[in-house]
Structure formats: structure tokens, C-alpha cells
Amino acid sequence: MTPTPLKLCPFCGKPPKLQHWTMEKFGWTVRCSCEIKPETCVYADQEKAIAHWNTRAQDATTAALVKALEDATASLHRLQAHYGPNGAPGWNGMLDEARAVGEAASVALELAKEA
């Protein structure tokens, strides 16, 4: 199984290293060799080390953005469900617009969650 991709180091922006320790520690860590030298705890399971490394605190602005995009996406899905794939007469243009906004919101939401 391919391990989950590692997010870049939050301090220097460079790729960290997944390391398997067999001498002074036993298990897996994720670490970066930059000046800060961030490193996870040692985990027996490499996926746990990766999950902890990839965890990022969300600031209030990002959390608000994620909430707004989730609300907008849910609202558009309700609109599409209500009017169906072909929409009501005269609504097709608006549905195309709504679909485009929904797709853009979904992409933005994924990016905001990854940040």
C-alpha cells in the first residue's frame, strides 16, 4: 500500500522525511531537517505518524471560509435536486450557472481543507 502523501513542512515549505527507526527509537516518525527540526512522536504505525504530521490547525478565517463554502455547496445541491437535471422551463441557464458555481465552490472547499 502506498503511504499517504506528506504535507510540506509548515516552517520551511520543503518536503519532510518519513523515517523508520530501529536503533535509538523503534517505529516511525516524520521529520524535517530545517532549522526548526520539527518531528512527530514515534509511532509503531507509519500511517499514524503521517496523519499527525499532516494535521494543521485552522485559523478562524480558513474555518469561516470552509463553513461558507460548505453552506454554498449544500444550497446549490438542494437547488439542483429541486429542479432536476433538466431544470424547470426558463431555468436552464440559471442551473448551468449554479452548476459552475457549485463546481468552483467544491474545488475551493477541497483546497481550503487541505490548507
Footprint of Zn ion (CB under 5 A): 9, 11-12, 32, 34
H/E stretch holding 101: helix 92-114
Among residues 11 and 21, whose Cβ is nearest to Zn ion?
Answer: 11
Minimum gap (Å) between residue 61 Cβ and Zn ion: 24
Minimum gap (Å) between residue 65 Cβ and Zn ion: 26
Among residues 14 and 82, whose Cβ is nearest to Zn ion?
Answer: 14
Minimum gap (Å) between residue 31 Cβ and Zn ion: 9
Are 65 and 74 in contact by the 8 Å Cβ rule? The answer is no
What is residue 14's three-state secondary structure?
A: coil
Phi–psi pair at 30, nearest 5 degrees: -120, 130
Among residues 56 and 82, whose Cβ is nearest to Zn ion?
Answer: 56
C-beta neighbour count of 83 within 10 angstroms: 15
